[in-house]
Structure 1
Amino acid sequence: MAAAAPPPPPTPVPEPSMGPSEDSPLGHPIFTRIRLATASDVPHIHKMIHQMAVFERLTHLFSATESSLTSTLFSPTAKPFYSFTVFLLEVSPNPFTDYVITDPSFTPLVKVINLDLPIEDPEKESFTTNPVHDISVAGFVLFFPNYSTFLAKPGFYVEDLFVRECYRRKGFGKMLLSTVAKQAVKMGYGRVEWVVLDWNMNAIKFYEEMGAKILQEWRVCRLTGDALEAYGTTD
């Protein structure tokens, strides 16, 4: 699967608030929620992974199906934060009232952000999760545990971070990655790490602004495809 590739760095946005203040008008509020994804979200996750492959120019490597994602990400034995985990970012023009906790290990994070202009989403219909409450998916982050022998602590590895095009540069990518980092701190983990394509300077700048160190001395090594399958035929 492709390495993590977030949207370009967000422009400054107002601090999230729960309503208008005496000093500024309400503007255009967008209500956001980060929650644990479930198997029913796979169609939306699959479409976003394909959009990410297009962005990364790696569609020739894209072979995931809804069925394969469901069986690997949401197996009956999978436990959030101790296996593959997906945070889903949902948005709505209305306050969230369907507070459904899909797993007791994580309470959905709800915020409202005031924007200068409304967001036009040409794909809204195909990314709707709750048409009654006008809720749609704006992005996701997929991560899983790893381990540092130097720290003698587990950590999280972020495989994918993606925000749909019309929602970029609003701070949503930072919200998703920050939620992973907060969960790592909550669990006493030692680090959160990921990789970035060397040509994606917007992503590199975004990560550096979040305080991440870009490790120039490390290179990713990967066995996949025929090279990996060859080991299945050796003694």
Structure 2
Amino acid sequence: MASTSSPENLIQSAGEPTGKSSVAGIRLGVPEDVPHLLKLIHQMAVFERLTHLFQATEHSLSSTLFSSPPFQGTTVFILEILTDFPRNPCDDKQSFKPIFKQLIFDPPVEDTEAKTFASSRNGDGVVAGFVLFFQNYSTFMAKSGFYIEDLFVRECYRRRGLGRMLMESVAGQAVKMGLGRVEWCVLDWNVNAIKFYEEMGAEVMQQWRICRLSGESLEAYKEKGNGKGDDQAV
């Protein structure tokens, strides 16, 4: 998971601000967001130096996301930058009320990809990032939690408090639902992200390691999963 924002305040001012007032909005992702999501995920893979693992397509994302109600399956929050507060927020789902905050980008943002990331839901909005998460379960706590698979903010919008805004939206939803915790992974070389998470109050658990079966290693269990493998007990 890439976190590429620092915990700086959303409204920044050193003397008289020179930036233009904007609004940052977080809403539930919808199928129409898939083209933007694919581009964001690829940019994240480039940032994390993991493009050799990138396999997602618009079709594969469309067929695996948004089929379950929000917070019951995989959920996506979309971060957008707007010129003003929307009169009628586009998200009419009662499970999540969109979040909006006014901010001043100082220095101003030069978004050379604004047209590419034009919002499909909010007229003049620009998609700036996303967070994707789903429920897991702690047997020790006997409670569900959220696992954040990915959090990403486009480069021109980093270090402006937007990553914190995304994290707060997930953590706030977890508290609202009575969940026990929020977890995620961070690359060991991403010291800025580690510092950011620690400053948000997260514990970086050095004693744990990620174990993963994928590709050929996972496929090797196909027959065993069908009951055709060895009969030996563990």
In structure 1, the residue matched to 2:47 is: 55
Alpha-carbon offset, residue 27 of structure 1: 4.9
RMSD across aligned positions (CA)? 2.0
> What is residue 142 of structure 2 aligned with on the other side?
152
Conserved 8 A contact 1:94-1:133: no
Aligned equivalent of 1:169: 159
Instruction: Report SS of the residue matched to 1:127.
Output: coil
Conserved 8 A contact 1:119-1:167: yes
Partner of 2:37: 45
Deviation at 1:226, TM superposition (A): 0.4
- Say if 2:80 is the partner of 1:90: yes
* SS of structure 2 residue aligned to 1:125: coil
Following superposition, the deviation at residue 133 of structure 1 comes to: 3.2
Matching of residue 141 in structure 1 with residue 125 in structure 2: no
Shift of 1:114: 2.1
Residue type of the alignment partner of 1:52? M
Question: Given the alignment of the two structures, is residue 107 of structure 1 paired with residue 97 of structure 2, yes or no?
Answer: yes
2:232 is aligned to: none
User: SS of the counterpart of 1:134?
Assistant: coil
The residue aligned with 2:206 is 216
- The more displaced of 181-190 and 115-124 is 115-124
Deviations 1:74-121 (A, max 9, x none): 22xx01011100000010223323412242101111111123222110
> Which runs of 5 or more structure 2 residues have no equivalent in the other structure?
229-234
Please say if residues 5 and 52 of structure 1, whose CA atoms lie closer than 8 Å, have aligned partners that are also in contact: yes
CA offset at residue 33 of structure 1?
Answer: 0.8
Amino acid in the other structure paired with 1:5: A
Task: Classify the secondary structure of the residue corresponding to 1:124.
Answer: coil
Q: What is the number of equivalent residue pairs in this alignment?
A: 224
Distance in 1 (CA, whole Å) between partners of 2:58 and 2:6 is 30
In the alignment, which residue of structure 1 is the partner of 2:24?
32
Q: What residue in structure 2 maps to residue 19 of structure 1? A: none
Greater Rg over alpha carbons, structure: 2
Mapped partners of 1:5, 1:132: distance in 2: 25
Partners in 2 of 1:121 and 1:97 — Cα distance?
A: 24
Residue 136 of structure 1 and its aligned partner are, at CA, apart by 0.9
Q: CA deviation at 1:25?
A: 6.5
Letter in 2 for 1:28: K
Counterpart-to-counterpart distance in 2, 1:59 and 1:196: 17
Q: Quick one: distance in 2 between partners of 1:108 and 1:160?
A: 20
**Match in the other structure for 1:69:** 61
Post-superposition offset of 1:12: 4.2
Query: How far apart are the structure 2 equivalents of 1:54 and 1:66?
Result: 18
Tell me how far 1:29 sits from its aligned partner.
Answer: 1.0
> What SS does the aligned partner of 1:33 have?
strand
Percent of matched pairs sharing the same residue: 57
How many angstroms does 1:132 deviate by? 7.9
Residue 45 of structure 1 aligns to a residue whose secondary structure is: helix
Tell me, in whole angstroms, the C-alpha distance in 2 between the residues paired with 1:73 and 1:149: 26
SS in 1 for 2:85: coil
CA contact (8 A) 1:10 1:168 kept: no
What is the DSSP-based 3-state SS (H/G/I as helix, E as strand, rest coil) of the residue aligned with 1:128?
coil
- Which residue identity is paired with 1:65? T
- Structure 2 CA distance, aligned partners of 1:28 and 1:107? 26
